[in-house]
Amino acid sequence: MTNLAPSTSFDVRAEITGAYAAWDSAFNKADSKAVAAAYVSNAKVLPPTHEVISGLDEIEKFFAGLFSGGFTDHKLTIMDAGGDEKVVYGTAKWTADGPDGSRQSVGGIATHVFERQADGSLKLRLHTFN
């Protein structure tokens, strides 16, 4: 019997790497609108403060606060990735400089759950970091 698996193949690791590069670029331009645009409308961001940040307006406001606090030079480095044609996950180490322009490096671990959009792009459903 022939295997009738879907012919569409995804390079999930490459997709996540690209999504991380685009997210880092928006962050490093201090563009809270562009950062928020990387998320689905009902996304959740769970920062180390234990806040639950829901929806695009709150996400934009949260990142605008980080930018006004002086966080810069964000970098996500992929650790693991997986998923399928609908849901994709990534784990990463993250670093940034700040706050208040101190240029002191901060960082931690992040987990991301993406939903594949109708156009094939990925948008974040869940973002947690410490």
Both structure tokens of 15: 């997709």
Structure confidence by residue, pLDDT tens digits, 104-128: 788 999 999 999 999 989 999 999 9
∠ CA 50-67-48, rounded to 5°: 15
How many domains, the chain? 1
Residue 103 is predicted with a pLDDT of 67
Let me know if residue 61 belongs to a domain: yes
Mean pLDDT for 25-38 is 97
Whole-prediction pTM: 0.88
Q: Give every CB contact of residue 3 below 8 A, 6+ residues apart in sequence.
A: none
pLDDT at position 13 over 70: yes
Q: Tell me, what CATH number does 36's domain have?
A: 3.10.450.50
Let me know if residue 55 belongs to a domain: yes
Q: Which is nearest to 113 in space by CA: 130, 100, 125, 95?
A: 125
Q: Which residues span the domain enclosing 117? A: 12-129
